[in-house]
Amino acid sequence: MALTFQNLAIFESMKPKKSPQHDRQHDLFRVELCRIVDPSHGLIKLANVVEWDRLDELFGSTYCPDNGRPAVSTRLMVALHYLKYTFDLSDEDVVEGWVENPYWQSFSGMKFFEHDAPIDPSRMTRWRKRIGEAGAEELLKETIHAGLKLKAVKPHQLKRVNVDTTVQEKEVRFPTDAGCTIVRDSD
Please state, rounded to an integer, the average pLDDT across all residues of the chain.
Answer: 82
Please say if the pLDDT value at position 10 is more than 50: no
Query: What's the chain's Rg over C-alpha atoms?
Result: 21
Alpha helices in the chain (DSSP H): 5-12, 20-23, 42-49, 52-60, 74-86, 91-100, 102-107, 122-149
- For residue 153, what pLDDT band results from cuts at 50, 70 and 90? confident
Whether the per-residue pLDDT at 65 is higher than 80: the answer is no
Residue 110 has pLDDT above 80, yes or no: yes
pLDDT single digits (tens) 120-143: 999 999 999 989 999 999 999 999
Find all residues with CB under 8 Å of 121, minimum gap 6, and list them.
90, 91, 92, 94, 95
In this prediction, residue 176 carries a pLDDT of 64
Closest of 113, 178, 139 to residue 46, by C-alpha = 139
- pTM value is 0.72
Angle at 14 between CA 50 and CA 55, to 5 degrees: 15
Helices (H) and strands (E) in the chain, counts: 8, 0
| 33 within 8 A of 111, measured Cβ to Cβ | yes
- Please write down the long-range contacts of 115-118, taking CB distance under 8 Å and 24 or more positions apart: 118/72, 118/76, 118/80
- The type of residue at 145 is H
Q: Which is more confident, 76 or 25?
A: 76
Residue 163, pLDDT score:
77
Asked whether residue 23 carries a pLDDT value surpassing 50, the answer given is: no
**Which is more confident, 95 or 167?**
95
Helix, strand, coil share (%) of the chain residues, nearest 5: 55, 0, 45
Residue 181's pLDDT band (cuts 50, 70, 90): low
SS3 139: helix
